[in-house]
Amino acid sequence: METKPQPDQIPDEAINNQELNAVSAEVEAEITENETLEPVMEEQENEPAGTEMKSEVEVEVPSGEANVEDISDATITEVPEPLAEAEAETVTEVVTETEDLPLASAETETVTEAEPEMSMEAEVTNEPEVVPAVAEEELVAVLPDENSDEDEQDESDETAEGEDAEQPAELEGKSREELVVRLEELVKQDDVNKIKGEVSQIKVAFLKLNKEFKHEAYQKLAAAAAEVEGESENDESLVIPDDEIEERFKAAFQIYKQNKGKYNEQQEKIKIQNLEAKNHILEELKVLINSEETLKKTYDEFKVLQERWKAIGMVPKTEINTLWQNYHFLVEKFFDKVKINKELKDLDLKKNLEAKIHLCEKAEELLLESSIIKSFKQLQQYHEEWKEIGPVPQDKKDELWERFRSATDKINERRREYYNQMQEGLEQNLAAKNILCEKAEQVVSAEPDSIKGWQDYTSQITELLQVWKTIGPAPKKQNNEIWARFKASLDAFFNAKKDFYNKLKEQQMHNYNLKIDLCVQAEALRSNTDWRNTTRELINLQNEWKKIGPVPRKQSDRIWKRFRAACDEFFASKSEYFKNVSGHEEENLKLKLELIEKVKVFEIGDNRNEAVETLKDFQRQWMEIGHVPIKEKEKLQTEFRTLINKHFEKLKMESISMGALNYKSRIERMAKDAPDAGRVISKERSFVQGKIQQLQEDIKLWENNIGFFANSKTANLLKQEFEKKIEKAREELQMLETKLKMLREANQ
């Protein structure tokens, strides 16, 4: 017989929330296991084993109000009750049934017909002080263990039955969402007992589909992650979270469990009410035994009490034995009182015999039932019916009971073998998982220092995880422990991997910043026409690029394209230039010589602004002309720049002189017209002195900064900017010193 895995597995089902990162996680789904492999029967509402109940029979009673003493011996003949069996046979699942309960010792009553084999009191005046004890071995095993968890057993058998039985036709082809919708409809119903079976079937079907769904989702993510190497995010993104449908299923199933809990509480209250009702019937039965009514009336009342007793439902399981012992004790007393005749009792025994033979046949048919759980539950029902039927003829009693017990033993043996095989499978799963834990711990102990190494070990961990999911649950006591051990290895591995990739990411970001700087330098050089020096600098930048190392994958392609575009632009311009340069150089030389002549003959007029614009136009024309033969380039450039600078120097000196004259005139007017001229001139002198001091400090700072620039094209450009600022500051400083001299002279 194959060991069937439980539908829910704790915590193996949660492994889908541990795909590759083993940190989130999805815990594994709950697995219900039987606490014991020995058969445990459902709670019984009827008589415990070893007790045979007298079935009701029709009694022919003479008409009239005759007392019991008035009925002739021919009419009612006492039939001795069967003796209790000398020794009770002990059976693991179903203990040997005895047809009669041992009764409390009582005084012997002398009767007319014969001494009964079962000692009884002649009259019952009070309730017996001590309830007759029933040996533990005489109780039929269909009674549940008082310490057992009834709800857990019900759930375990329901779940196992759901796996064992074929899936109902109405659930075939249903999707997860359709199953959840049906479950949500069911949990709205008030009758929990009515929907219990269908809920169990939906649970099994949903868990199966949900497991397949998560497995497919993981496979897709794993395939996508395999294409992107070197990123921790891809590994950690393989967590498969609970989706909306699964959350709805859990919520609906939780409502069912809550409703079931309320239902069980209501049933317990009903059982207590039933116990009170049956105890009340016992009190009425005691009164009836001691009554002086006629036989017919007494027996009719007894029949009514019997019907009421049967109509009452289950009672608390802890009270079953005591209740039935008291009931049968009083029933025996009643039969002793009314002395039911042997003919009626034989008829009753014959009817009971036929009923129990039929039960034996039905019990034997259960051996052909494919479902272990179904056959076991049905057997419990047959034991209930057996106890209700009552005694059979003494000569058939042992034979019939042996037949019924034989069928019971075989069914129990099948169930025991089923759970034994299941336990063996769980032990094998535990051994396999121990091996996986050892392998995972070996992988964790390794410390790879490269992306390739981490990828190899990640593949090993992933493979171990896949194997783990295929194994199935371990024994309940070790299941959580073995999972905690395996999960600890997973967490340690993925935490170490995360640390490695975080450090790698920091290094890649540093490399990224370095390459950004190279891009900026390359972009600054791409328009430079100093082909030789710029080519050398770009080649140096490319060599530095190769030495830097990788950058984050998301930025790698973009930053490379940016750097390459700057280099390509320069080299394309260079190529284009040298392709056309030879045909135009002589013409450009002629144009630049003509422009130099124009600059030489240029005279600065009274309109200084117009002169500045003319000089700027000369420079624009020079830049637009283009390249000249290389041997003439420096000579022409120097001559042109010298001429232009002379004109600007002349303009500058004229500007300084004009500004000084204007300033001197303003001071003279101030000294002549202002009533507090001395204070105003003193204030102006302080302002000019402060300005001079600030410019001197700025010039000193800028000159120091120039010394820090590296020898590169970009640095040279920045250096030129600072030199221009220094030159301008010195010109302003010269003007301020002239003003300060004028202020001092005016204050004398």
pLDDT digits (tens, 9 = 90+) for 693-732: 888 888 888 877 776 665 555 666 777 777 888 888 888 8
Is residue 552 within 8 A of residue 508, CB to CB? The reply is yes
DSSP letter at 552 equals -
C-alpha distances in Å from residue 95, one per residue of 163, 382, 603: 30, 15, 135
User: Taking phi first (over 0 means left), then psi (-120 to 50 degrees means alpha), and beta for anything else, what does residue 648 get?
Assistant: alpha
For residues 350 and 707, what is the distance between their CA atoms, to the nearest angstrom? Answer: 125
Amino acid 409: pLDDT: 93
For residues 253 and 340, what is the distance between their CA atoms, to the nearest angstrom? Answer: 56
For residues 452 and 2, what is the distance between their CA atoms, to the nearest angstrom? Answer: 43
Residue 415 burial class via C-beta count within 10 angstroms: exposed 0-12, middle 13-18, buried 19 and up: buried
- For tokens 């336990």, the residue is 423
For residues 341 and 733, what is the distance between their CA atoms, to the nearest angstrom? Answer: 145
**DSSP H or E segment with residue 231:** none
350 contacts: CB under 8 Å, gap ≥ 6 = 393
Quote the tokens at residue 256: 């069912």
Quote the tokens at residue 239: 């967590």
For residues 239 and 458, what is the distance between their CA atoms, to the nearest angstrom? Answer: 15
- For tokens 């300060």, the residue is 740
Length of the chain: 748
What global pTM score does this model have? 0.33
Q: What string of H, E and C letters represents the secondary structure of 47-79?
A: CCCCCCCCCCCCCCCCCCCCCHHHCCCCCCCCC
Amino acid 350: pLDDT: 87
Amino acid 168: pLDDT: 65
Quote the tokens at residue 688: 């000019």
At 271-292, the pLDDT tens digits run 999 999 999 999 999 988 888 7
Using alpha carbons only, what angle is made at residue 624 by residues 618 and 630, rounded to the nearest 5 degrees?
A: 105
**Through-space distance between the first and last CA atoms of the chain, rounded to whole angstroms:** 126
Three-state DSSP class for residue 233: helix
C-alpha distances in Å from residue 254, one per residue of 184, 250, 346: 11, 6, 55
For residues 430 and 428, what is the distance between their CA atoms, to the nearest angstrom? Answer: 5
Is residue 636 within 8 A of residue 594, CB to CB? The reply is no
C-alpha distances in Å from residue 479, one per residue of 10, 95, 285: 7, 34, 54
For residues 123 and 234, what is the distance between their CA atoms, to the nearest angstrom? Answer: 88
6: closest CA among 473, 478, 476? 473
Amino acid 620: pLDDT: 81
474 contacts: CB under 8 Å, gap ≥ 6 = 426, 427, 429, 430, 433, 482
DSSP assignment of 313-345: ----GGGHHHHHHHHHHHHHHHHHHHT--HHHH
Helices (H), 446-530: 451-471, 476-525
Helices (H), 227-319: 232-236, 244-289, 295-311
C-alpha distances in Å from residue 708, one per residue of 705, 717, 723: 5, 13, 14
For residues 129 and 326, what is the distance between their CA atoms, to the nearest angstrom? Answer: 11
DSSP letter at 367 equals G
Give every residue of the chain whose pLDDT is below 70, as ranges: 1-170, 228-242, 338-344, 580-583, 652-665, 668-675, 707-716, 747-748
For residues 415 and 95, what is the distance between their CA atoms, to the nearest angstrom? Answer: 16
69 contacts: CB under 8 Å, gap ≥ 6 = none
Quote the tokens at residue 323: 């209740």
Is residue 289 within 8 A of residue 329, CB to CB? The reply is no
Is residue 155 within 8 A of residue 32, CB to CB? The reply is yes
**Domain boundaries defined on the chain:** 675-748
